[in-house]
Amino acid sequence: MSTFIWFLIIFGTIVIVHEFGHFFFARKSGILVREFSVGMGPKLYSKRSGSTAYTVRMLPLGGYVRMAGWQDEEADLRPGMQVSLITGANGKISRINTSDKLMLEGGVPVQVSASDLIDKLTISGYANGDESQLLTWDVDHDATVIEKDGTEVQIAPRDVQFQSVSIWRRILVNFAGPMNNFILAFIAFFVLALTMGVPSTGNQIGTVSSNSPAARAGLQANDRIVAVDGKQTGSFQAVATQIGKHKQQSIKLSVRRGGKAMTLTVKPKKGLIGISSAIDRNIGTALKYSVTEPWQLTRQILGALRSLVTGGFSLNKLAGPVGIYTMTSQAASGGLYTIIWFMASLSINLGIMNLLPIPMLDGGKIVLNIIEMIRRKPLPPEKEGMVTLVGAALVFALMIAVTINDILRIF
């Protein structure tokens, strides 16, 4: 149960931060965000605030920001649909109910004949079952529609649609999700370094294990090992490397304790003497760590992606939700430090994966934006929709294959 809770916290945090990037820059660009969802699948909870419906859905496998005018947007109304309409104080339709899960008090039952909720903002149909008279209603620009599952979202007039803003704003909106993942990792590593510290790069000893070769030789915390058998050691890594060359043989350490220099003899055990580096918790070190650690992880992830292409594709090099759940269990057993570190590394991974030039992913959308910029006109909607559909099918198929492989690896 604790693993499941940590999985929800870690994955939920990463998804919310990612989607908030899209949400924030879409709103700043004048794009209507109809829904901000955490999770996928059937709706569990929905609350509308301002122009956006905030929902929680059953499957904790992701989330989405639903912007007005995206190519995957279904028509709100179709001919023959039975709806009920509420008229606002200005005489225009303010709410449209298409759901049988909710009844609107005072709503007029209408069979839709035609509708345009994008440009003309009108609905035509037959009221109260009277098919002898076709009526037309004007729809308010900020009217809402209650969908089949009971989620109430705002309609999507053309002036607030995704395609109505400049190409540069659209690129920024698409990039903002991965960007937020990188920012989350930066903050997480900074907090870790500032609160729990990071190993010092200097040659100062942090702790000496009791009954260790170092303790028996007289080494103390805060001593600096400046040389091992006459070889200069300016960093703790250099100290460890030089000591590691001597598995069992006695070695001489040049040590500075305060302002005093001394030489101590120690006999390593299997290349170790029982010391650890000092821990830094200053802001400068934390800032450096919050940049260098994400950079190292980014290089490792890019190297792994490169090996998928050059070293032969293998599902064992990938992990889906089941694999991430397993890794969450391992991270949870290591304590809070390991959990935060895992969340930060997973956030970087998600950011990089989303920037891959695959249709449906953010990187694929940016590629389509760049193509539109070069052509100086967007791709035909049917072609863009087909490309996105193919990309979605490939990603979905890969996710199923990875998930099955993760399960097989467990058993």
What's the pLDDT at 318? Answer: 65
Residue 27 has pLDDT above 60, yes or no: yes
HEC sequence for the chain: CHHHHHHHHHHHHHHHHHHHHHHHHHHHCCCCEEEEEEEEEEEEEEEEECCEEEEEEEEEEEEEEEECCCCCCCCCCCCCCEEEEEECCCCCEEEEECCCCCCCCCCEEEEEEEEECCCCCEEEEEECCCCCCCEEEEEEEEEEEECCCCCEEECCCHHHCHHHCCHHHHHHHHHHHHHHHHHHHHHHHHHHHHHCCEECCCCEEEEECCCCHHHHHCCCCCCEEEEECCEECCCHHHHHHHHHCCCCCCEEEEEEECCEEEEEEECCECCECCEEECEECCHHHHHHHHHHHHHHHHHHHHHHHHHHHHCCCCHHHCCCHHHHHHHHHHHHCCCHHHHHHHHHHHHHHHHHHHCCCCCCCHHHHHHHHHHHHHHCCCCCHHHHHHHHHHHHHHHHHHHHHHHHHHHHHHC
Residue 29 has pLDDT above 90, yes or no: yes
Higher pLDDT, 32 or 389: 32
What's the pLDDT at 411? Answer: 66
**Pair 113, 125: CB distance under 8 Å:** yes
Residue 224 has pLDDT above 90, yes or no: yes
d(CA 251, CA 264): 8
Tokens 């990603």 belong to residue: 395
d(CA 402, CA 89): 54
What's the pLDDT at 370? Answer: 92
pLDDT band, very low/low/confident/very high, at 61 (cuts 50, 70, 90): confident
Residue 311 has pLDDT above 80, yes or no: no
Residues of the chain with CATH 2.30.42.10: 199-279
Mean pLDDT within 385-404: 75
Q: Phi and psi (nearest 5°) for 19?
A: -70, -30
Q: In this predicted model, what pLDDT tens digit does every residue of 84-115 receive, in sequence order?
A: 999 998 999 999 999 987 788 888 999 999 99
Which range in 16-20, 60-64, 243-247 is most confidently predicted, on average pLDDT? 16-20
Mean pLDDT of the chain: 88
Question: What is the set of active-site residues?
Answer: 19
Residue 39 has pLDDT above 70, yes or no: yes
Tell me if residue 373 falls in helix, strand or coil. Answer: helix
Q: In this predicted model, what pLDDT tens digit does every residue of 262-271 receive, in sequence order?
A: 999 999 988 8
CATH of 199-279, one of 3.40.50.920, 3.30.460.10, 2.30.42.10, 3.30.70.260: 2.30.42.10
Q: In this predicted model, what pLDDT tens digit does every residue of 125-165 receive, in sequence order?
A: 999 988 899 999 999 999 999 998 889 999 999 999 998 99
Higher pLDDT, 239 or 400: 239
pLDDT band, very low/low/confident/very high, at 117 (cuts 50, 70, 90): very high
Percent of the chain with pLDDT over 70: 94
Distances (CA, A) of 182 to 173, 185, 192, 318: 15, 5, 15, 20
Mean pLDDT within 301-326: 73
What's the pLDDT at 330? Answer: 79
Residue 71 has pLDDT above 70, yes or no: no
Residue type at 120 in one-letter notation: K
Residue 373 has pLDDT above 80, yes or no: yes
Mean pLDDT within 350-375: 89
- pTM to 2 decimal places: 0.81
For the chain, how many residues are written? Answer: 411
pLDDT band, very low/low/confident/very high, at 377 (cuts 50, 70, 90): confident
